[in-house]
Chain A
C-alpha cells in the first residue's frame, strides 16, 4: 500500500465535558478525495481545525506525509503543504481577487521580509496567481475586490488561493455551503478537474457533491467514525441511511 498523505490515529478533542472528536482514525491516500460526512454538530469542522492546527488536539497523532505534525504550529503545517479553505468564507475582502491569490503565491515563494519593491507589480507573483484564477474560472474578475465577489466566486477564489500553494493535501470545509444550485455545479466541475493533482479531504453536507466527487467516504457521528468505505458501500449501509442519509435525502 502507498504511504498515506494524511494518517490520523486515535485523535481526540474535548471541550469541557463534551467530547467533540472521539478516537478518530482515518487516512487519506495521495491523490485521493476523501469525504467526511455527518450531521450538524458531528465534529467535522473541529476535525479540520485540528488537522490544520488551528485547534490543539488532546491526544492522538496526526501524521502528514510521514511526519508527525500533531504539535506543529498552523503556519508550519501550511508550509509543509497542508492547505485549507474555511466553512465561513475567508478571503481578504479589501484585496483584489488577484492580490488574494498573489499573497498565497508569496507565502510559498521566497521570503516575505522584503521591505522594498512593489509587490503588486511582481510578475513572479502575479503570473501564477492569474493562472490559478483562470483555472477556477475567475480570470475576468481578477481586479475586483474580493469583498465584492458573489458567494460562489469567493468559494472559487479560496480554491485558487489553495491551488497556488501547491498543497499535498487540501482540506475543504463545506465549500458548497450557502451556494446556489448553479454555483454548486460549477464548483463540483472545478473540483473534479483538480482531482488527482493532490489529495483532498472534503467536509460537505451536499450529498450530490459528495457522491459525485469522493473516492472514499467516512461518516462522522458524535465525533466518532461510524463507517468508512467506498461511496457505494456507504450509500447502502443501513446504519448510515438511518442515522444520516435518510434525513438528508428527504431534506433535499
Chain B
C-alpha cells in the first residue's frame, strides 16, 4: 500500500502562499499604535507621515499583486492612483464632496481605465507589457496635465476633505488615520484571500508557465485581466485617500517616477509576500523623510541604498527579517 491511505486533503502543500501571521500582525499592531506614539512624543507630523505611508502601502499592494503573483510587471500603476485622486478633486470642484459619491466614482473610474488599458496591455508580454503600461501611464499623466478647467499642470486644490454622509469625519486627523488603516487592512486581507483562492492559483500558475496553463484549459488572459482590474481599483482607492490626505490633486501623482517608486517599494519590502509591500512602502517613505532632513543631498545616499538592498538581499527587508529570525532560532537552544 502507498502512503495515499492518509486522507488526501491532509497532505501538506509546501508551496501554498505561506500563511504568515506573526509579522503582518506586528505590522498592523505597530500601525495601530502610531497615533499613541505621536501623541506621547507630541509629534503630530508622525500622524500625517504614517497616513501617507499606509496610502502608498495600498498602492504598493496592488503592484505586488500584479508583479509578485502574476509576473505582470506594471510600470503604470501610478495612473490609477491619479485617477482615484482626480475623481475626488473634480467632483469636489463641482460641489460633490461626499464619500458616497466620490469613493464609488474613484473605484469605477480606475477600474474602467484598468479594464480598457488591460484589454490592450495583456495581449503583450515581457518588456512590451512594461512599455505599454508605461505608455498608458504617461497618457493619463498628459491628459491630467492638459485638464485646464481642473488646474492643468498646476493641479487642483481640494477645498475640503470628503464628508461621510454629511459628517466631516475626515477632517479629524485621528479619525482619518484609522479610516486609512482599516482600508489598508481590508485590501491586505482581500488580496491574501485572493492569492490563495482558485483564482489566485491560476494566476500563480500562469506566472510559472502560461503555456502549460493554457493547455490545461485555462484562458489565462481573462484571469490576468481580472487581476489587473482589481489592482487598478486598489490603486484608485489609494488615490481617493491620497487626495483626501493632501487636499490637493496633481498630475505628478501619475508620473512614471511614481510608478517606479511603487515597484521599488515592493522590491524593497519583499516581492510576492503582500505584507512586504507594506513594510517596503514604510521603509521607502520613512527613509526619504529622514534622509532628506539630514542632508539636501539625501538622494545620493538613498539611491545606492535601495540598489544595495534590491540587489543583495533576496526577498527584501522581509527576507532580512526571516534570515535573522532563523539565525536567532538556531542560537536559541544554547542561549
Counting from the closest, the 9 A-B pairs by CB-CB distance are A130-B8, A78-B217, A120-B16, A123-B9, A139-B4, A107-B217, A92-B208, A114-B198, A139-B2
Inter-chain CA distance A98–B3, complex, in Å, is: 14
Inter-chain CA distance A78–B214, complex, in Å, is: 8
Interface centre among B2, B15, B194, B200 (most CB of A within 10 A): B15
User: Which chain B residues in 201-245 approach chain A with CB under 8 Å?
Assistant: 201-202, 204-205, 208-209, 211-220, 223, 226
How many chain B residues sit at the interface, stated as a range, is 35 or more
A143 with B12: in contact, given A90-B212, A114-B199 (CB under 8 Å)? yes
Inter-chain CA distance A78–B223, complex, in Å, is: 17
For A117, what are the chain B residues with a Cβ–Cβ distance below 8 Å? 193, 197-198
**How close is B220's CB to chain A, nearest CB, in angstroms?**
8
Would you call A129 an interface residue if the criterion is a C-beta within 8 Å of the partner chain's C-beta atoms? yes
**How close is A209's CB to chain B, nearest CB, in angstroms?**
22
Contact B216 A103 (CB under 8 A): yes
For B11, what are the chain A residues with a Cβ–Cβ distance below 8 Å? 98, 126, 130, 142-143
User: Which chain A residues in 152-211 approach chain B with CB under 8 Å?
Assistant: 161, 165
User: Which chain A residues in 71-124 approach chain B with CB under 8 Å?
Assistant: 73-75, 78-79, 83-84, 86, 90-96, 98-99, 103-104, 106-108, 111-123
Contact B201 A99 (CB under 8 A): yes
Inter-chain CA distance A112–B8, complex, in Å, is: 21
Ordered by A's residue number, 8 sampled pairs between the chains whose C-beta atoms are within 8 Å are A75-B217, A75-B219, A93-B208, A107-B216, A117-B198, A121-B9, A127-B8, A140-B3
Contact B216 A165 (CB under 8 A): yes
Contact A78 B194 (CB under 8 A): no
Contact B196 A118 (CB under 8 A): yes
Number of interface residues of A (CB under 8 A): 52
**How close is B111's CB to chain A, nearest CB, in angstroms?**
15
Contact A54 B4 (CB under 8 A): no
**How close is A176's CB to chain B, nearest CB, in angstroms?**
20
**How close is B153's CB to chain A, nearest CB, in angstroms?**
40
Would you call A52 an interface residue if the criterion is a C-beta within 8 Å of the partner chain's C-beta atoms? yes
Residues of A within 8 A of B (CB): 52, 54, 73-75, 78-79, 83-84, 86, 90-96, 98-99, 103-104, 106-108, 111-123, 126-127, 129-131, 133-134, 139-140, 142-145, 161, 165
**Partner of A78 from B12, B198, B216 at Cβ < 8 Å:** B216
Inter-chain CA distance A108–B218, complex, in Å, is: 9
Interface string of B1-38 (1 = CB under 8 A from A): 01110001101111110000000000000000000000
Inter-chain CA distance A54–B211, complex, in Å, is: 9
**Partner of A90 from B8, B209, B217 at Cβ < 8 Å:** B209
Inter-chain CA distance A199–B301, complex, in Å, is: 65
Inter-chain CA distance A111–B202, complex, in Å, is: 11
For B208, what are the chain A residues with a Cβ–Cβ distance below 8 Å? 92-95
The number of residue pairs between A and B whose CB atoms lie closer than 8 Å in the complex comes to 133
For A107, what are the chain B residues with a Cβ–Cβ distance below 8 Å? 216-218
Contact A96 B197 (CB under 8 A): no
**How close is B84's CB to chain A, nearest CB, in angstroms?**
21
**How close is A186's CB to chain B, nearest CB, in angstroms?**
14
Contact A104 B4 (CB under 8 A): no
Inter-chain CA distance A216–B239, complex, in Å, is: 64
Inter-chain CA distance A129–B13, complex, in Å, is: 12
For A134, what are the chain B residues with a Cβ–Cβ distance below 8 Å? 2, 4
Contact B215 A118 (CB under 8 A): no
Inter-chain CA distance A140–B9, complex, in Å, is: 14
A99 with B16: in contact, given A52-B215, A92-B212, A126-B8 (CB under 8 Å)? yes
**How close is A172's CB to chain B, nearest CB, in angstroms?**
13
Inter-chain CA distance A116–B217, complex, in Å, is: 21
Contact B197 A115 (CB under 8 A): yes
Inter-chain CA distance A149–B71, complex, in Å, is: 24
For B3, what are the chain A residues with a Cβ–Cβ distance below 8 Å? 139-140
**Partner of B211 from A90, A94, A115 at Cβ < 8 Å:** A90
For B209, what are the chain A residues with a Cβ–Cβ distance below 8 Å? 90-93
Contact B13 A91 (CB under 8 A): no
Contact A106 B14 (CB under 8 A): no
For B8, what are the chain A residues with a Cβ–Cβ distance below 8 Å? 123, 126-127, 129-131
**Partner of B196 from A120, A140, A142 at Cβ < 8 Å:** A120
**How close is A248's CB to chain B, nearest CB, in angstroms?**
29
Contact A145 B14 (CB under 8 A): yes
For B216, what are the chain A residues with a Cβ–Cβ distance below 8 Å? 75, 78, 103-104, 107, 161, 165
**How close is A146's CB to chain B, nearest CB, in angstroms?**
9
Inter-chain CA distance A91–B9, complex, in Å, is: 21
Contact B193 A131 (CB under 8 A): no
Known: A74-B215, A75-B215, A79-B217. 10 other contacts (CB 8 A): A90-B212, A93-B208, A94-B15, A112-B201, A113-B198, A115-B200, A118-B16, A139-B2, A142-B11, A165-B217
For B9, what are the chain A residues with a Cβ–Cβ distance below 8 Å? 121-123, 126-127
A95 with B15: in contact, given A126-B8, A129-B8, A165-B217 (CB under 8 Å)? yes
